[in-house]
């Protein structure tokens, strides 16, 4: 009984082994199948951003200029800007992101003027703020118009930010004949600026002058601040005139003279408007051009939040201050309301 069972079992094992050998032989002699050709992945070209631009004068110039470094937007291509460009350098605090966005959408909108014979571009100059580093980097990538300077956003360093604007323009936009300095609390009437102000100021824009409002009240006794420029000018008596620092025009010739003077000054401890447009201008032998004398119709107003009414009342009003001038902004709608008044049709 068991002999028959064992015989059938041995036969099954023999057949299984034989079948396995046949399969192995078949696999051995079967040629390998070439792998399925994969479609090549299309290469997408993503241009690498330019490295952040640093100030080229950090190691070349002595004095207070050696402390200045700039970080531009990695996508800012200054060589692609038109030749008929007028830069407006707007001094702003790093935290004022919403204000900068409002200015871009109102008076600072980048557009052609005078049948595309003139372009005005806004650049925002901000200081350092440890809590805003990433926000500023993002803003630079998106808008290409924010320049960060290695100066703290504090009133004590306001003079440094003023001449940092001068330094940036002369290094990165050396071919422009002049630039306009403004603060982000301002609302500028671009219609008056382009159609009237620039045409009247044109004869002075290639001279060694600083154009601004040198009001009677903008004077200071020279002796109080004489210690700062002693190394570059002799002690003199009398009053020193300075311009309102919210808005002024700096020509290329005057900027070069003032930067040359700054390279011989080691420290500044003085309010910005008194130093830059007063002490520094005088020490560098830069002439004054008083806006009211050459263009008596141009005015400014410290409205501090009521600029819409101010622009509706005086259509020749050049600049007006928002509530940011005296403290935290009450509402960014001030900029939009004033802008609507500016672009409204002129009365027949």
Query: For the segment 107-157, what is each residue's pLDDT rounded down to a tens digit?
Result: 999 988 998 899 999 999 999 988 899 999 999 999 999 999 999 998 888
Chain segment 69-88, per-residue pLDDT in tens: 999 988 888 888 998 999 99
In percent, the amount of the chain with pLDDT more than 90 equals 46
pLDDT band of residue 47 (cuts 50, 70, 90) is very low
pLDDT at 108: 96
pLDDT classification of 64: cutoffs 50, 70, 90: confident
Q: Give which of 331, 347, 348, 337 is closest to 309, Cα–Cα.
A: 337
Answer yes or no: pTM beyond 0.85: no
pLDDT tens, position by position, 249-269? 999 999 999 999 888 887 777
Task: Say yes or no to pLDDT of 229 above 70.
Answer: no
**pLDDT exceeds 80 at position 178:** yes
Residue by residue, what is the 3-state secondary structure of 236-298? CCCEEECCCCCEEEEEHHHHHHHHHHHCCCCCCCCCHHHHHHHHHHHHCCCEEEEHHHHCCCC
pLDDT value of position 46: 34
pLDDT of residue 166: 96
What is the pLDDT confidence band of residue 209, given thresholds at 50, 70 and 90? very high
> Is 3.90.550 the CATH classification of the domain at 63-184+209-295?
yes
pLDDT for the residue 195: 92
Tell the residue number behind the tokens 């060694």, with chain if given: 208
The pLDDT, as a whole number, for residue 49 is 43
Instruction: Look up residue 243 and give its two tokens.
Output: 């311009």
pLDDT at 345 over 80: yes
Tell me the range of 153-157, 220-224, 227-231, 319-323 where mean pLDDT is highest: 319-323
Tell me which of 43 and 283 has the higher pLDDT.
Answer: 283
**Rounded mean pLDDT, 213-231:** 69
Task: Please compute, for residue 52, the number of CA atoms within 13 A of its CA located in the half-sphere on the CB side.
Answer: 13
Show me where the domains of the chain are located: 63-184+209-295
218 vs 242, more confident: 242
Residue 99: predicted pLDDT: 96
Indicate if the pLDDT at residue 42 is higher than 50.
Answer: no
CA 199 to each of CA 43, 136, 187, 193, 194: distance values in angstroms, whole numbers, following the listed order: 51, 35, 20, 9, 7
Q: How confident is the prediction for the chain on average, in pLDDT? A: 82
């Amino acid at each position: 009984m068991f002999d028959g069972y064992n015989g059938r079992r041995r036969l099954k094992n023999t057949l299984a082994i034989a079948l396995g050998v046949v399969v192995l032989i078949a696999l051995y002699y079967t040629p390998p199948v070439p792998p399925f050709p994969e479609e090549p992945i299309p290469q997408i070209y993503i241009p690498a951003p330019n490295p952040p631009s640093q100030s080229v004068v950090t190691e070349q110039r002595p004095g207070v200029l050696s402390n200045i470094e700039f970080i531009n937007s990695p996508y800012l291509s200054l060589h692609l800007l038109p030749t008929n460009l007028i830069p407006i350098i707007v001094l702003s605090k790093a935290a004022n992101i919403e204000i900068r966005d409002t200015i871009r959408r109102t008076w600072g909108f980048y557009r052609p003027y005078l049948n595309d014979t003139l372009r005005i571009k806004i650049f925002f100059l901000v200081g350092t703020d440890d809590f805003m580093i990433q926000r500023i980097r993002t803003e630079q990538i998106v808008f290409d118009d924010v320049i960060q300077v290695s100066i703290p956003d504090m009133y004590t360093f306001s003079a440094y930010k003023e001449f940092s604007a001068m330094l940036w323009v002369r290094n990165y936009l050396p071919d422009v004949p002049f630039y306009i300095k403004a603060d982000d609390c301002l609302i500028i009437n671009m219609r008056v600026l382009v159609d009237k102000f620039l045409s009247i100021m044109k004869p002075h824009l290639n001279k060694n002058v600083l154009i601004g409002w040198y009001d009677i009240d903008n004077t200071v006794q020279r002796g109080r601040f004489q210690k700062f420029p002693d190394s570059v000018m002799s002690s003199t008596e009398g009053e020193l005139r300075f311009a309102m620092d919210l808005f002024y025009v700096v020509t290329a010739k005057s900027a070069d003279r003032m930067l040359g003077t700054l390279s011989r000054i080691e420290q500044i401890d003085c309010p910005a408007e008194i130093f830059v447009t007063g002490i520094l201008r005088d020490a560098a032998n830069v002439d004054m051009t008083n806006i009211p004398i050459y263009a008596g119709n141009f005015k400014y107003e410290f409205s501090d939040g009521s600029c819409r009414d101010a622009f509706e009342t005086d259509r020749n009003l050049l600049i007006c201050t928002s509530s940011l001038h005296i403290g935290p902004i009450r509402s960014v709608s001030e900029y939009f309301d004033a802008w609507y008044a500016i672009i409204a049709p002129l009365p027949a």
